A and B are shown apart, each in its own frame.
Chain A
Amino acid sequence: MNAPHTLPAPPKPGSPEAIADATSFVRFERVRKSYDGIHFVVEDLNLAVRKGEFLTMLGPSGSGKTTSLMMLGGFEEPTFGHIFLGDEPVERLAPEKRNIGFVFQSYALFPHMTVAENVAFPLRYRGIKGTAAADKVAKALGMVHLGHLAARKPCQMSGGQQQRVALARALVFDPTLVLMDEPLGALDKQLREHMQVEIKQLQRMLGITMVYVTHDQSEALTMSDRIAVFNDGRVQQLAAPEMLYEQPANSFVAGFIGENNLMPATVDATEGGIATLTMGDGSRLQAPNPAGVAVGAKARLAIRPERFFIQVGDARGPLNILRGPITDMFYLGDHVRLSVAVGGDKPVVARIPVSQRRPFARGETVTLGCAVTDCRLLEG
């Protein structure tokens, strides 16, 4: 089940991925970018965006996601490789000729113009004037519920309102593609969550292709059709949100998306897709082995904290059992968060729903159970 989009290698010609890529809308092909001629910020980017999809580039800062977006927007030129928009290579095309809507982190509204003038700005370069332009501006502002503030200057608006103006301005000229660079980063949590839903709805309603950059994984999970997880200038995995969460391709993705217990292990045997492992403390566990980690290889066992339960009595079905004393515990309303020292260098973290809770005490030895199918063996 290793996701086929785990690049760097581009898809083989004739493979389903290659065909999907051929019908795709935006393609990065072997794109590399270096600013200083020594280090590559983007190592080897191969990525295909489908028409009408909401694709998020997610990764920690310095992972190359923003640089990739800037190259797509035309503000940076790839050092090597090609970027296709439709069938056309655009890596040398000036930004104003790409017809791409771009929403900047800082919004980049023009402070000397009113909201309406800001939104009308792209129209003048497309020969849309007079009432036709006014209609489009009104429609775009209506779409973001700001029709009544058209005469304001950007500085007279709240951050959320400015964000909407930037969105309206990027959409008003019916761009073929909309790019967003952490557009919600400056907003408070509540407003951010609200805007996530609103942007997603707009995208779905307009059927527009969006490429979105963020370092906030919950934002990525909420909004995206697919997520490209970036690290060290490479795409680590490109998949739908639930795939990323349930079937991470490697330890980085497993650790970056959601919380995960990553425990070092050695593969003893593998049979029928199920591997038998020896853990750091000598205990033996089982896990599915979709990545096909070879016998004897170093590996990591990934178990999500919420997949643990408190095992009472005998184990039934294929279960992994871990035992150890509670080193720390936090009551969090809907669940209790336990740190359990099960051997190995780090305690495992378990989230036990409050419905399962019985009074825990620090130092008490608990037995954690976890279905074998909820575990995942990863290379590394």
Chain B
Amino acid sequence: MTLALPHAGTAPSVKRAVRRADRPARRAAFLLSLPLLAFLAIAFVVPIAALFTTAVDNPETRSVLPDTLRALAAEPSAAVPGEPVFAELAHDLARAGKARTAALLGKRLNYEIPGMRSIVMAGSRLAAASSQGPWRQKFCDSDPAWGDPALWAAIRRNGARLTPYYMLTAVDLQQTPSGGLAPVAPEQRIFLDILGRTLLVAATVTLLTLFLGYPVAYALTLAPPLLGAIMMLCILLPLWTSLLVRTTAWVVLLQSNGIINDLLIGMGLISKRLQLIFTRFGTVAAMTHIQLPFTILPIASVMRTIPVAQLRAARSLGAPPMSAFWRIYVPQTLPGVMAGCLITFILSLGYYITPALVGGPTDQMVSNFISVYINRDLNWGLASALGVVLLAVTLLIYGLFLRIVGADKLRLG
């Protein structure tokens, strides 16, 4: 028997003809997806671009001290500049005082040198109160910090349009005055710790959903149609409930006077109420519950495509049931397992409400800090930088994942 296989190298003119014949269909497909593409561009690409921009944007110093910076550029080597720069500084600060923008500058410089907020505000008041120099003398008399080279290095550094400050801070690094990189002081190192915690919680939740969900997916595949439909409904039902409602339900369950504690005390298993809420346990339990359907559904959908003959074939060839399951069935479910785990892991990285309501102070994830910096501290630069770090880590893990298991091993539906 010979089987005629199609030629590997078909003549290019034929390929061109095929492409030309396909063109109307491709164009129609493109036009049909245009609304979605437009939506994605507005709702996804633009915000992410804004995120990247905000993370490195540095407008405060440039807008508040334009003349100072220009004068400073004329004295490139001076650690502490001379009178002309101070005169421009007085001029800029007086104007900023009137425009109420001095606080912006103060806040921005305060990130890098603690105390800068009050120094800038005092300087602004000084500049508004006096009309005559010598400015260098007056500034240095009012606050010796104006004679500190570190202050002027910070102003010079922040005269640039872009700053690495937020990105460095988001990974617990700082710029030394000489321009090198160094870890921040140990007591200020929090972000790597938060990132590690976020990854740990996401990984724990992913593994738990896998261990709990895999047997459920298998049972779902084996169940007769009616039972299967009921099981599927039970799995999907939580998905149709608001995340907030489900999280609140966990608060009810976990709190000290909650159902779980009542039950355990009622059964006489414990005598003192357990601290379940505001703990890592509570966070992981609630997140696992919420994420279960996302892990189960891809696994079940892949399991459904595995013919019953596969296991039968393995048995007929001599494999005992467990061996047949592990060697033949489980490997074929890997695309679903990978897809389910990836979805759950990536979604878990971004959890915000659940850790905020059920978790303790040490269970807050990156998203919670992003929220704090946006809502409370109004430090959008750092919030954006944390967002960029989270995005980068997510993409990195996704890339690693595809690299290790192969894109063909991933079946999302």
Residues of A near any B CB (own CB < 8 A) = 73-75, 94-96, 98-102, 104-106, 108-112, 121-122, 125-126, 145, 158, 160-161, 169-170, 173, 191, 194
Main secondary structure of the interface of A (DSSP, over half): loop
Q: Digit string of B283-318 for contact with A (CB within 8 Å is 1, else 0)? A: 000000000000000000000000101101111111
Q: Is the CB of A112 within 8 A of B314?
A: no
Q: Is the CB of B318 within 8 A of A194?
A: no
Chain A neighbourhood of B315, CB < 8 A: 74-75, 94-96
Which of B309, B320, B334 is A106 in contact with, Cβ under 8 Å?
B309
Q: Is the CB of A108 within 8 A of B307?
A: yes
Q: B331 in the interface, Cβ–Cβ < 8 Å? A: yes
Given contacts A95-B315, A96-B320, contact A104 B1 (CB under 8 A): no
Q: Top 4 A-B pairs ranked by shortest CB distance? A: A125-B318, A108-B313, A122-B317, A108-B309
Q: Is the CB of B318 within 8 A of A126?
A: yes
**Assuming A74-B315, A110-B313, what are 9 further A-B pairs, CB within 8 angstroms?**
A75-B316, A94-B320, A96-B316, A96-B324, A101-B317, A108-B310, A110-B310, A125-B318, A125-B319
Which of B3, B309, B312 is A95 in contact with, Cβ under 8 Å?
B312
Given contacts A158-B3, A194-B1, contact A173 B317 (CB under 8 A): yes
15 A-B contact pairs sorted by A residue (CB < 8 Å): A73-B312, A74-B315, A94-B315, A94-B321, A95-B315, A96-B318, A101-B317, A104-B309, A108-B307, A110-B328, A110-B332, A121-B319, A125-B319, A170-B316, A170-B317
Most chain B beta carbons < 10 A, residue from A104, A105, A194? A104
Chain B neighbourhood of A145, CB < 8 A: 1
A81 CB → nearest B CB, Å: 21
A110 vs B324: C-alpha distance in the bound complex, in angstroms?
Answer: 11
Which of B310, B316, B328 is A73 in contact with, Cβ under 8 Å?
B316
Chain B neighbourhood of A194, CB < 8 A: 1
A199 CB → nearest B CB, Å: 13
Chain A neighbourhood of B321, CB < 8 A: 94
Chain B neighbourhood of A98, CB < 8 A: 316
Most chain A beta carbons < 10 A, residue from B3, B313, B317, B320? B317
Q: Is the CB of A173 within 8 A of B1?
A: no
A169 vs B309: C-alpha distance in the bound complex, in angstroms?
Answer: 14
A194 vs B332: C-alpha distance in the bound complex, in angstroms?
Answer: 32
Chain A neighbourhood of B312, CB < 8 A: 73, 75, 95, 102, 104, 108
A99 vs B319: C-alpha distance in the bound complex, in angstroms?
Answer: 11
Given contacts A158-B3, A160-B1, contact A102 B313 (CB under 8 A): yes
Given contacts A160-B3, A194-B1, contact A104 B313 (CB under 8 A): yes
Residues from 346 to 367 in B contacting A, C-beta threshold 8 Å: none
Residue of B nearest to A75 (CB): B312
Chain A neighbourhood of B334, CB < 8 A: 112
A110 vs B310: C-alpha distance in the bound complex, in angstroms?
Answer: 7
Residue of B nearest to A97 (CB): B318
Chain B neighbourhood of A94, CB < 8 A: 315, 320-321
Q: Is the CB of B317 within 8 A of A121?
A: yes
A264 vs B319: C-alpha distance in the bound complex, in angstroms?
Answer: 54
Chain A neighbourhood of B313, CB < 8 A: 102, 104, 108-110
A125 vs B316: C-alpha distance in the bound complex, in angstroms?
Answer: 11
B319 CB → nearest A CB, Å: 6
Q: Digit string of B317-343 for contact with A (CB within 8 Å is 1, else 0)? A: 111110110001001101000000000
Most chain B beta carbons < 10 A, residue from A73, A98, A104, A108? A108
A322 vs B314: C-alpha distance in the bound complex, in angstroms?
Answer: 58
Q: Is the CB of B316 within 8 A of A101?
A: yes
Q: Is the CB of B318 within 8 A of A173?
A: yes
A208 vs B312: C-alpha distance in the bound complex, in angstroms?
Answer: 22
Chain B neighbourhood of A125, CB < 8 A: 317-319, 323
A98 vs B320: C-alpha distance in the bound complex, in angstroms?
Answer: 12
Chain A neighbourhood of B1, CB < 8 A: 145, 160, 191, 194
Chain A neighbourhood of B310, CB < 8 A: 108, 110
A317 vs B3: C-alpha distance in the bound complex, in angstroms?
Answer: 54
